[in-house]
């Protein structure tokens, strides 16, 4: 029976991570899958969300900003707001230019934020990070399986809400404009759509979702440190989206599940076969594996497991059917 509980505790733990990654991947999918924006700073925006929510809700830290003790929901809203503001600044600087400039600029902001997380002691606690981040309903369920399950329910609720909202958005006229700009910017501009404004909107909303994902992570683990938001996180999310299928929200969720499973299993296998004193090398090999997976996916099946769905406006579909 205790083995069963152990397994279930682990399974819920695993699934909470999948739900968090899937949420962030949905934000990335809005940017890349539907708008064609290449964001290499995912880890940075996730970090902003995690730190903002932690600072807003956590108890008083000695010699540090904090002690606001706000409700967790407000922390999450704050996380989205902060990530959105950062995205606005980056977007205004880089989105008028060629795609690569956005990649380089987002790469830069992720590195800069990593430095801030490491060095701005009064704000982020430096290398030691922030601890005692409140966990929702901890008083009610305690620790262990019951609490894991309750957090899984919350994470799935958030994921479901984001999924539903994004599906509505990308099927709306607004979503069609995004795809039009992605496919042919000149044509879209000729039709009177201001590409820059639409790109900026998509970029900011995507980053807000990433910030929310970061907050979900912070309140699940209860402790965050700069090394939680290294470039490898960005890379894992890209692998999830590419494997699952960019431009498909179900694909982003499926990719999060598949890549996180591959990551966890390969980590376990490598830890099993590599001697204890060589574990750091094993961890390096794990990253090589995912890198090769991403490259192979781009070469062999660039559309991912689930490709982009072909969508037409409900009205256009109706006329076509009527016409036939």
Q: 178: Cβ–Cβ under 8 A, 6 or more apart, which residues?
A: 34, 35, 170, 198, 202
Q: Given the complex with another protein, which of 116 and 156 has the nearer CB atom? A: 116
**Are residues 79 and 52 in contact, defined by beta-carbon separation less than 8 angstroms?**
yes
Q: Given the complex with another protein, which of 42 and 205 has the nearer CB atom? A: 42
CB of 225 to another protein, least distance (A): 16
CB of 119 to another protein, least distance (A): 4
b (16+ CB within 10 A) / e for 144-174: ebebbbbbbebbbebbeebbeebeebbeeee
Q: Given the complex with another protein, which of 105 and 202 has the nearer CB atom? A: 105
Q: Given the complex with another protein, which of 30 and 162 has the nearer CB atom? A: 30
CB of 22 to another protein, least distance (A): 19
Q: Given the complex with another protein, which of 68 and 107 has the nearer CB atom? A: 107
The tokens for 8 are: 């279930």
CB of 292 to another protein, least distance (A): 6
Backbone angles phi, psi at 245, to 5 degrees: 125, 105
The tokens for 20 are: 């968090």
Q: Given the complex with another protein, which of 22 and 109 has the nearer CB atom? A: 109
b (16+ CB within 10 A) / e for 35-70: bbbbbbbbbbbbbbbbbbbbbbbbeebeebebeeee
CB of 303 to another protein, least distance (A): 11
CB of 266 to another protein, least distance (A): 13
Q: Given the complex with another protein, which of 70 and 180 has the nearer CB atom? A: 180
CB of 194 to another protein, least distance (A): 18
Strand segments, DSSP code E, in the chain are none
CB of 85 to another protein, least distance (A): 15
Q: Give me the sign of the Cα torsion angle 231, 236, 237, 242.
A: positive
Q: Given the complex with another protein, which of 253 and 290 has the nearer CB atom? A: 290
Cα 314 to Cα 234: distance, rounded to the nearest angstrom: 35
Interface contacts to another protein, rule CB under 8 A: 36, 38, 40, 93-94, 96-97, 99-101, 103-105, 107-109, 111-112, 115, 118-119, 231-232, 235, 238-239, 242, 280-281, 284-285, 287-288, 290-292, 294-295, 298-299, 302
Please, what is the Cα angle at 209 between 205 and 211, to 5 degrees?
115
């Amino acid at each position: 029976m205790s083995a069963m509980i152990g397994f279930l505790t682990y399974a819920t733990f695993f699934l909470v991570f999948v739900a968090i990654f899937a949420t962030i991947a949905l934000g990335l999918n809005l940017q890349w899958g539907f708008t064609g924006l290449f964001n290499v700073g995912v880890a940075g925006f996730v970090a902003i969300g995690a730190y903002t929510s932690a600072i807003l809700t956590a108890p008083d830290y000695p010699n540090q900003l904090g002690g606001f003790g706000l409700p967790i929901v407000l922390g999450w809203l704050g996380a989205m707001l902060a990530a959105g503001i950062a995205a606005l600044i980056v977007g205004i600087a880089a989105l008028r230019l060629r795609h690569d400039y956005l990649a380089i600029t987002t790469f830069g902001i992720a590195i800069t934020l990593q430095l801030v997380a490491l060095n701005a002691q009064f704000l982020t606690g430096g290398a030691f990070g922030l601890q005692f981040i409140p966990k929702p309903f901890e008083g009610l369920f305690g620790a262990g399986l019951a609490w894991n399950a309750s957090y899984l329910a919350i994470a799935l609720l958030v994921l479901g809400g984001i999924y539903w909202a994004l599906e509505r958005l990308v099927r709306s006229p607004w979503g069609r404009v995004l795809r039009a700009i992605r496919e042919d910017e000149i044509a879209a501009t000729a039709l009177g759509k201001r590409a820059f404004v639409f790109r900026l909107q998509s970029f900011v909303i995507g980053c807000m979702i990433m910030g929310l994902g970061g907050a979900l992570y912070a309140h699940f683990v209860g402790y965050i440190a700069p090394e939680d938001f290294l470039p490898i996180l960005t890379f894992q999310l890209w692998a999830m989206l590419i494997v699952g299928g960019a431009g498909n929200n179900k694909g982003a969720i499926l990719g999060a599940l598949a890549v996180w499973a591959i990551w966890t299993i390969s980590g376990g296998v490598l830890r099993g076969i590599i001697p204890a004193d060589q574990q750091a090398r094993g961890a390096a090999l794990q990253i090589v594996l995912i890198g090769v997976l991403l490259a192979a996916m781009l070469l062999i099946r660039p559309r991912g497991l689930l490709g982009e769905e072909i969508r037409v406006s409900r009205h256009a579909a109706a006329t076509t059917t009527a016409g036939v």
